[in-house]
Each structure stands twice: as C-alpha cells, then as structure tokens.
Amino acid sequence: MISQKMTDRINLQINRELYSAYLYLAMAAKLTGQGYAGIGKWLTVQYHEEMFHAMKFVKYLAEQGAAVKYEAVAAPEIKSAVVKDVFKQVYAHEQFVTGSIREMVELARAEKDYATENLLAWYIDEQVEEEKNDTEILQLVDLIGGGAQGLFMLNIELGKREAKIALDFTKV
C-alpha cells in the first residue's frame, strides 16, 4: 500500500512533468515561429514524452488505489529564443527533473516502498537518456557555432526525430 506522503510526492511530480510538457510546447512554438520548424518538432516530441511521463505516474497511482490531484500548471518562462540558450534551459530543466526523481527514490527507500522504487528506476534511466541527448545537442551547437548554415543543418537534423512513445495514454 502506498503512503499518503508518497502519493503527495508523486502528485507533485505529475505536476512537474506537466509543466515540463508545457515548457517544451512553448519552446516549440517560439522556435517554429522563428523558422526553426525542425527544432520545433524535436521539442514537440519532447512534449509528448513529458506527457507520457506524467501519465505513467497517473496510471501507477490508480493501480495503487491512490488519488490523483491535478494542480494548476504554471506558465512556462522561456529565457531566450537563441537556439543555444534554449537548449541550455532544456538541459538545466532536465537536471532539475533528475534531482526531483532522485528525491522520490530517497523517499521510497526511506519508506521501504519497493514498488515505487521499482517504478522510479525506469525514470532514472529515462533521465540519464534525457541529459545525454541535451548534452549532445549542446556539443553540436558549440561545434557549429552560431552561423546560419550550421543552425540550418541542426534544424534539419533535429527535425528527423520521431516519437518513440505511445501517444495513446491508455496504453501507458
């Protein structure tokens, strides 16, 4: 049986995942509006992944007989519309999410909640991948510099990204 403390913490994480989705969708709109449709597509796929992450937690709470509590999602703040700055913000945000997941693991361990700890192992692996992807994109941005041709090629390359997750959240 899941504790109320863990239920509350998972509900907080659901809100954080929804904020992440909202942030990436806002970034996608901003960059697409500046002519970076490929980067916008990459960020839109990221939006779908964050929604999947939220819904995976929702499903878990339902399976545990715990209540899901949706909170208001704060308006995202995009600090810059410069491609490198956007990906710096993406990376910093994913580091925050990683820290949040780690806090949940610590709570699960403290409560000897092995089922939740097992669920969170998937999220830890996911965050390793997220941070790796962001680091690689930032390295590419550094390699190409701020030149138009390099950003053009990066836009094309990132536009090739396809969603790997189920968009039907009933199959989470």
Binning pLDDT at 50, 70 and 90, where does residue 42 land?
very high
Instruction: Identify the band that residue 169 occupies on the pLDDT scale cut at 50, 70 and 90.
Output: low
pTM: 0.93
**Is 74 domain-assigned?**
yes
Does 167 fall in a domain? no
Ramachandran assignment for 68, one of left (phi > 0), alpha (psi -120 to 50 degrees), beta (any other): beta
Looking at the chain, the whole-number percentage of residues with pLDDT higher than 70 is 96
Q: Is residue 63 part of a domain?
A: yes
Q: Is 146 exposed, middle or buried (0-12, 13-18, 19+ CB in 10 A)?
A: exposed
Domain that holds residue 123: 4-161
Question: What is the predicted pLDDT for the residue at 172?
Answer: 55
Per-residue confidence (pLDDT) for residue 32, from 0 to 100: 97
Question: What is the predicted pLDDT for the residue at 168?
Answer: 59
pLDDT confidence band for 45 (50 / 70 / 90): very high
What is the pLDDT at residue 167?
57
Residue 43 within any structural domain of the chain: yes
87 inside domain: yes
**Residue 54, in any domain of the structure:** yes
Q: Which CATH number does the domain housing residue 70 bear?
A: 1.20.1260.10
The answer to whether residue 170 is domain-embedded is no
Tell me how many domains the chain contains.
Answer: 1
